[in-house]
Structure 1
Amino acid sequence: MSQRQNFVNNKYINSHSSSTFDLVDPSTGEIIGQSPNSNEQDVEEAYAAAEAATATWGRTTPAQRHAAMLKIANAMESRRDDLIEAQARNTGQPKYLIASEEMDVGIDQLRFFAGAARMLSGVPSGEYLEGFSSSLRREPIGVVGQITPWNYPFMMAVWKIGPALAAGNTIVLKPSDTTPDSTLLMAEIAAEFLPEGTFNVVLGNAETGAFISSSKVPGLVAITGSVKAGMAVAAAAAKNLTQVHLELGGKAPCVVFDDADLDAAATTLAETGFFNGGQDCTASTRILVQESVHDDFLAKLVEAAKATTYGTPEKDDILYGPLNNINQLERIEGIIERLPAHATIATGGKRADDMPGFFFKPTVVDGLHQDDEAIQNEIFGPVITVQTFSTEEDAVRMSNDVEYGLASSVWTKDHARALRVSRDLDFGCVWINCHIPLVAEMPHGGFKSSGYGKDLSRFGVEEYTRLKHVMSSMG
């Protein structure tokens, strides 16, 4: 059984901790290796390596960072198949979708961040006070701690390391305890082009994450994860007044008006709701449909759900694989078991018993009320809920009546209505007649309990910088 190691100072090293836990292939339920549960000494030694590396990587020019990051992207592209294999054994995701939706997209995003290293913005230098000249320095924060989730291990790591490296920071990253392999391989590949200590990976569970967040070394701690995990990071970091960057859960409302193309809406929302087993904080798992077209739309959505296929990683005719772990599978089962009497399971609603592993059938639940658990809480599984509304005002009110504020979509042929509703939706991203497309040039991040801070775009890079005003007397 393979024992994983931490990656610090451009090499694999053993953890100081004697605590370990099993790594499990979610498509089979079989144990495939063991991971260390790194302790505070491991984390602080990784931070020390990162702190030492600020004297080298932190002093590089934007052009030098740009060149190194392009080399890293090219090297990852050449090791694409190895990265796919590493991720598939941790996630059970279909390999063809890891290739197209994570590797190809993530490598392109890394190249964007490489270019963004040379495009940081600021105000012009000049005399804003008579007799004095002012300039603005946009500097790296220094050392950053990062925590990434298990739903898209490769791409979420790119969203963290890309802007951090572009801005000149050094990194200590903890991947999810269930999905370390592709992140470790990323660090191994990147080591050829980075000074020692620039990009370090420490393995472990939530306790290790607490050490990442509570250390006095980092100037910023960033996490993509659940609201609960984000609150824990913010609380731990607050003791040292450490900045935090939080990209947390979501409960995306998808508002389908009576003039929408119902076929396109049902097909797209089924795909984007069930993609990756619904394990996506922007997934289209909460649909609000206007009363007059509810029955027609529901029939189309159920038909699309029944046509949705799932299976093991090597298959290329499926939309999703297993849920990531047994706890997540049991959590989804619990939500379905607790559905109120007024809810109706239109299709699915149970574990897939025709194969081993942590599979759950594509599910559509109708008839839910606004205060029901399945409406108010993130499900993070292949479960789509359907509600009805009567007016535009009702749709906006119901959409906003959750603690989350990450993503949403509006489905209508009325352009003015699309503009009004997109203005009024309290979500960081609004898609019109589509759902989930992302581009590196545009920021991604939410409001309310979905956190604060932006990933992607030049704004995402600037989150990893600090501003310094330098003023000189001209006398």
Structure 2
Amino acid sequence: MHNPGTASQERFPAADRFAEGAQFIAGRLTKGTSGRRHAVVDPATGDEVYTYDLAGTDDVDAAVAAARAAFPGWASATPGERSDALHRFAAVLAERAEDFARAESLQCGKPLKLSREFDVPGTVDNTAFFAGAARHLQGQSAGEYSGDHTSYVRREPIGVVGSIAPWNYPLQMAAWKVLPAIAAGNTIVLKPAELTPLTSLLFAQAATAAGLPDGVINIVTGTGREAGEHLVGHPDVAMTSFTGSTGVGKRVAEVATATVKRLHLELGGKAPFVVFDDADLDAAVNGAVAGALINTGQDCTAATRAYVQRPLYEAFVERTAALMETVRLGDPFAPGTDLGPLISHAQRDRVAGFVERARAYARVVTGGEAPGGDLAKGAYYRPTLIAGAAQDSEIVQSEIFGPVLVVLPFDTDDEGIRLANDTPYGLAASAWSGSVYRANRATRDIKAGCVWINDHIPIISEMPHGGYKASGFGKDMSMYSFEEYTQVKHVMFDNTAVARKDWHRTIFGDR
């Protein structure tokens, strides 16, 4: 049976919406059938806030069957009908914004101000964007490209999409997976991380309240090894989209290719933050702290490697450390909190392990420890700045996923660009300069899916998000994402009404 846990009504006002279970299949909540249970834990306190039955393979099969049954009707709806449904969906999300914000902060530990001002409004905006995108099926203009025929392109939905979302931004990642898929006429089964299923389930419930047909959006909450692999390998799933670590992404690709699925992977990152010597130092310092600490550093685009041209290096280190020390750790629901805990004690210990190993070859300028006192029971870790590490060291090359920024100096512009590109990843980067020529060069030469100039982190629904190299392939958000969830079909009409075509002679007979 479902256990509501210990969260108060104030922290978790939507608790009663999960009474029937944590699987959302064909428009209703059900309990998982794996025979195993899992607890959602508030990482700020260590308290269990919701306990549920995990999905098994039978639940995945039921969700895929529901999505497959809903597909013909949803695919045949007009773009305008799908657009209207998504506009209604956006309105319901906006009405329930506070429930979403509190559930997101509870399960993730992120400050309520971040959930209220970033995660939730971003999701509402993304929904409104794809409501508009549903009406814009783009392709090459119809024409007589051969002379004897008229050709045009159709964009058609692919079928059932099976997607897997991570735990760092569970609401936004659910939206990024679901919205382009259904706007294009597909149906979907989403597996959120078992640590953070609450807002994905609220998202699906809001879709039903907005009038989307049962089975268009389905949620299975289970482990990656059982529910995730079964979903990715399911023969009735036509496409898989995955966001998570590069290591797990490789396994997803391996499973998906066995059934020749279309595949979209948004994987790890190690974003460089390149500060040239003509940069506004105040802007760079503020940008580095914000870019490194957003979501307690659990962001694949977070600033993790600051490369600072030598004339500014010492001042940057000193001022960045000083600003980090003013960041307020605390209860995510307290108005004065800037930084919440990591997602779990295990993740906190993983981050601490990277920092402790780095002490052997680098200098911890500030941070580098878990706080004591009232915060000791949570998965907190202080904002950490590290200097003096080598480019090939673990702390520079590996994705840490915590509130840790490493700073290295460089001398020439060529060296700065080279160091920025010197990891396996290529998801995001930023460059800081007062010169349009330096900035423009950085946008050309840094190999990443997004390059910010004199800022780091902001995203918008109209522009794509996705990586180069080991950060994966495919795009979230924007029309580029929408198009990835469509099949392109070439249609060609004969215009001659001639039975014996001239080209037939190449197969039989003479001219």
Contact 1:274–1:319 (Cα < 8 Å) also in 2: no
Following TM superposition, by how much is the alpha carbon of 1:337 offset from its aligned partner in structure 2, in angstroms? 1.4
CA distance in 2, matches of 1:218, 1:378: 31
Q: Which secondary structure state, in structure 2, belongs to the residue aligned with residue 54 of structure 1?
A: helix
Q: Please point out which of 277, 282, 289 is paired with 1:270.
A: 289
Q: Is 1:217 paired with 2:236?
A: yes
Partner of 1:465: 486
Q: What's the offset of the Cα at 1:340?
A: 4.9
Residue in 2 that maps onto 1:430: 451
Q: How does 1:70-469 map to 2 (within 5 A)?
A: 70-192=87-209, 193-207=211-225, 208-354=227-373, 355=375, 356-469=377-490
Structure 1, residues 66-110: CA drift from partner, whole Å, max 9, x if none? 100010110111111111222222111111210110111210111
Deviations 1:376-424 (A, max 9, x none): 0111100010011111111111111101000001111111111112211
- Which shows bigger deviation, 206-215 or 237-246? 206-215
Q: 2:48 aligns with which of 31, 45, 56?
A: 31
CA contact (8 A) 1:159 1:455 kept: yes
1:5 aligned to 17, 22, 27, which one? 22
2:43, 2:379 within 8 Å by CA — same for their partners in 1?
A: yes
Q: Is the CA contact 1:275–1:319 (under 8 Å) kept in the aligned structure 2?
A: no
Kindly indicate whether the alpha-carbon contact (under 8 Å) linking 2:33 and 2:54 is maintained by their aligned counterparts in 1.
no
CA contact (8 A) 1:276 1:319 kept: no
1:221-250 deviations in Å (ceiling 9; x for gaps): 001111112111111101001111111111
Could you tell me the percent identity over the aligned residues?
A: 42
Mean CA deviation greater in 116-125 or 33-42? 33-42
Give the Cα–Cα distance (whole angstroms) in 1 for the partners of residues 231 and 418 of structure 2: 38
Deviation track 1:249-282 (CA, whole Å, cap 9, x = no partner) reads 1100001111111111001110121111001011
**What SS class does the counterpart of residue 338 from structure 1 fall into?**
helix
TM-score (norm 1): 0.98
Give deviations 1:191-244, integer Å, cap 9, x for gaps. Answer: 131111100000011121111111111111001111112111111101001111
The code of the aligned residue for 1:384 comes to: L
The amino acid of 2:191's aligned partner reads: K
Residue 5 of structure 1: CA displacement? 2.4
Q: Is the 8 A contact 2:466 2:474 kept in 1?
A: yes
What secondary structure does 2:72 align onto? coil
Distance 2:61 2:462 in 1: 34
Q: So what's the TM-score if we normalise by structure 2? A: 0.91
The structure, 1 or 2, with the larger RCO (C-alpha pairs under 8 Å, 6+ apart) is 1
Question: 5+ unaligned residues in a row in structure 2: which ranges?
Answer: 5-18, 498-511
- Where 1:55 maps in the other structure, the secondary structure is helix
Query: After the TM superposition, which parts of structure 1 deviate over 6 Å for at least 4 consecutive aligned residues?
Result: none
C-alpha displacement at 1:468, in angstroms?
0.8
Cα drift, residue 362 of structure 1 = 0.5
User: For residue 470 of structure 1, what is the amino acid of its counterpart?
Assistant: V
Measure how far apart 1:147 and its partner are.
0.7
- Equivalent-residue separation in structure 2 for 1:430 and 1:81 (angstroms): 32
Residue 64 in 1 paired to residue 81 in 2?
yes
Secondary structure in 1 matching 2:301: coil
Which deviations, in whole Å up to 9, do the C-alpha atoms of 1:98-137 show, x marking residues without a partner?
A: 0110111210111001101111210111222232221211
CA–CA separation in structure 2 for the residues paired with 1:125 and 1:244: 29
Alpha-carbon deviations, 1:314-341, whole Å to 9, x = none?
1222222110012211100111111153
**For residue 348 of structure 2, what is the amino acid of its counterpart?**
L
